[in-house]
Amino acid sequence: MGFFRKISRGVTGLLVRGGLCTVKFISALLLVVIKSIKFILSEIWELLKAVGGILLWILGEITEAFRSRIKVSNELTRNIRRAKKEGGKTYASAIVRFVGSFLFGEGGVLYTAFNYILPIVSAAFLIGVVKQGSGLEYGLAVEFNGKEVGIINNEADFEAAEREVNQRISFSDAEEPLEFTAKYSLRIISDSDHFVSSSQLANEMLAASDEELTTAYGIYMDGNFIGAVRNRDTVQEALMDNLLNYNVDGIVRDVSYVNKIDYEEGIYLVSSVQDEQAIIDLLTSSKEKQSVYVVQEDDSAVTICQKFGMTLDKFNELNPSASEAGGIRKGLMLNVVETESYMPVQYVRELETLSFLDYETVEVETSALNVGYEAVLVKGVRGEKHSNVEITYVDGIERSRRVLSSKITKQPVVEQIGIGTYSAKPDSPNSVLNGEALHGTGEFGWPVDGGWISDTFISDRNHKGLDIAAESGTNIYAAGEGVVVSAGWNSGGYGNVVMIDHLNGYQTVYGHMSYVVAVEGQTVTKGQLIGLVGSTGDSTGPHCHFEVRYEGVCNDPASYLNTEEKETD
């Protein structure tokens, strides 16, 4: 029981202390809050006192004049009372001084009104002037031959009108060149005035001249004046018929003229008005010009003639050497004749095209080749891409094309160039067999790291392979890629032997090893270590017995080995 009482007293004391701490913390927090509020209120009070002082000062400044005026008025009133007692002229003089001071004196009615009302009136007057000025409309009044011919918005309209007039008078047959000089000035526009466009201004300037004029339709090509006609419908119909009858092979769309033609009714010089048929002949005319064409890939004389609408005879006449063998090649510059129309016709055609994708060439290190030799391992093949293109022609000549969609139908095959890494070779490559290097196909690599031929194929004892003598423990490599079909001891005289099937009808055999590294079922690459030179089995000294079998028949390994040194540049 005493133990539980001690625990109870301890817990109680802890709770009491915790409560006291909480009370102290809350009290300190309240004290901080109260002091903060007191500080804020004191600062607000100081601010209000400062603002009140400023307001009192402003009020004092404003009422000072009135207090002064009241003081002066009281003094004048006392003077009138004293003068009244004296009577006569003194009294009248005092009244006059009072009235004068009240109206005209400093602080008087008129003085105060002048000081306060004049700024207000001035400001109102200034606002009225600005408002009146901002409501006015200004323009450029153009004067020609001493007469105002129109009002325009800006200088650009004036310059455009001048250009228009100069174009119209360019057809004049007068001996002296015509001059149309006008000037303009800025002025306020009234309700009776109205603005004119640059074209209307040009008409007014021509009308104010002394030249013989008429009303007609001006023909403009891309904004340039070509001439004027009486009847524009005749010209329009002829140009439309020219488009409808334009000779185009295949299905095309958007047949139109490259240039934009506009017709504008106005006043023109009589000398600039032309016969409708003359204008039609001009707009639909064409001429031939000689130019130079750079031959592109897959170009031929026929395709070039088709591009420019030339005959083959004309092409050969301009390019006599092109008919020779190899005369047309990429990058060659040829003479061609192309037709240039006054108003070229353009149209759009959609075609499906076949293009070829060039293949990449990469170099790959391979043990299938001896060091210093290169060969094509995988021949590169170009890919194919079918595209739907939109071609724009101008006068039958392609000017641009845009690919609408494309799809690669055949991926290019990367060409692989093998760089030989197989480095095994005889100790003396130039004296391995009868004092000469082996000149076989090179299909199989020299299987020993060094060595020399100690016995040839067949020889004088029906030998089934080559004996390559070398020190015991010398590395023996796989002569080609394949699968190990036998690895280990052979009781038929080969001793420790490895046989590799190259999966193409050929097998190679490596006998008399001191140690076999390869294991049966293993896939090996050319140059991979498969064992060490030894003298196991029927052997009189350390060497590698090397056989090449095709479909089970032993062939001369020398026919498959090449130990010739490759010459370097």
Indicate the range of 55-64, 438-447, 558-567 predicted with least confidence. Answer: 55-64
Task: Pick from 56-60, 225-229, 270-274, 434-438 the range whose average pLDDT is largest.
Answer: 225-229
Higher pLDDT, residue 441 or 435: 441
pLDDT score recorded for residue 75: 67
pLDDT of residue 569: 46
Report DSSP letters for 204-234, one per residue. Answer: HHHHTSSS-EEEEEEEEETTEEEEEES-HHH
Say if CB 480 and CB 523 are below 8 A apart.
no
With a cut of 90, say whether residue 557 has pLDDT above it. yes
Decide: residue 516, CB within 10 A, 0-12 exposed, 13-18 middle, 19+ buried: buried
> 531 versus 295: which is more confidently predicted?
531
What is the pLDDT confidence band of residue 25, given thresholds at 50, 70 and 90? Answer: confident
Residue 141 above 50 pLDDT? yes
The domain made up of 348-423 is a member of CATH 3.40.50.620? no
Q: What is the per-residue burial (b if ≥16 Cβ within 10 Å, else e) of 97-127?
A: ebeebbeebebbeeeeeeeeeeeeeeeeeee
Cα–Cα distance for residue pair 339/342, rounded to 1 Å: 10
Domain ranges of the chain: 138-211, 232-285, 348-423, 424-560
Strands 361-370 and 415-422, how do they pair?
parallel
Instruction: Characterise 4 by phi-psi region: left (phi > 0), alpha (psi -120 to 50), beta (else).
Output: alpha
Tell me the C-alpha distance between 451 and 301, whole Å.
Answer: 64
The angle subtended at Cα 555 by Cα 550 and Cα 558, nearest 5°, is 125
- Hey, what CATH topology would domain 424-560 get? Glucose Permease (Domain IIA) (2.70.70)
Per-residue confidence at 56, pLDDT binned at 50, 70, 90? confident
The pLDDT of residue 412 is 94
1: pLDDT strictly greater than 80? no
What is the average pLDDT across 206-216? 76
Q: What is the 3-state secondary structure (H, E, C) of 349-385?
A: EEEEEEEEECCCEEEEEEEEEECCCEEEEECCECEEE
Tens-place pLDDT, residues 402-423: 999 999 999 999 999 999 888 8
Tens digits of residue pLDDT in 248-288: 777 888 889 999 999 988 888 887 888 999 999 999 888 87
Average pLDDT over residues 199-215: 74
What span, in angstroms and rounded, lies between the C-alpha atoms of 422 and 381? 28
Express each pLDDT in 309-355 by its tens digit: 788 888 888 888 877 766 788 888 888 887 788 899 999 988 888 88
How many C-beta neighbours within 10 Å does residue 561 have? Answer: 29
pLDDT at 568: 47
Nearest to 139 by CA among 190, 206, 205: 190
The pair of three-digit structure tokens given for residue 151, joined into one six-digit string: 């009002």
Tell me the three-class secondary structure of 249-294, residue by residue: CCCCEEEEECCCEEEEEEEEEHHHECCHHHHHHHHCCEEEEEEEEE
For residues 290 and 167, the model is more confident at: 290
In order of 46, 128, 150, the CA distances from 53 in angstroms are 11, 39, 67
Mean pLDDT of the chain: 80
Residue 450 has pLDDT above 70, yes or no: yes
Q: At what angle do helices 109-134 and 89-104 cross, to 10 degrees?
A: 30
pTM: 0.47
Are 554 and 560 a contacting pair, CB within 8 Å? Answer: no
Q: Above 80 in pLDDT, residue 63?
A: no
Mean pLDDT to the nearest integer, 22-40 = 78
> How many whole angstroms separate alpha carbon 372 and alpha carbon 370?
6
Distance (Å, whole) CA 539 – CA 528: 25
How far is Cα 234 from Cα 221, in angstroms, rounded to an integer? 17
pLDDT for 548 beyond 90: yes
pLDDT cut 70: percent of the chain above it: 75
Residue 215 has pLDDT above 60, yes or no: yes
Tell me which range, 109-118, 216-225, 407-416, 417-426, is most confidently predicted by mean pLDDT.
Answer: 407-416
Give 468-520 pLDDT, tens digit per residue: 999 999 999 999 999 999 999 999 899 999 999 999 999 999 999 999 999 99
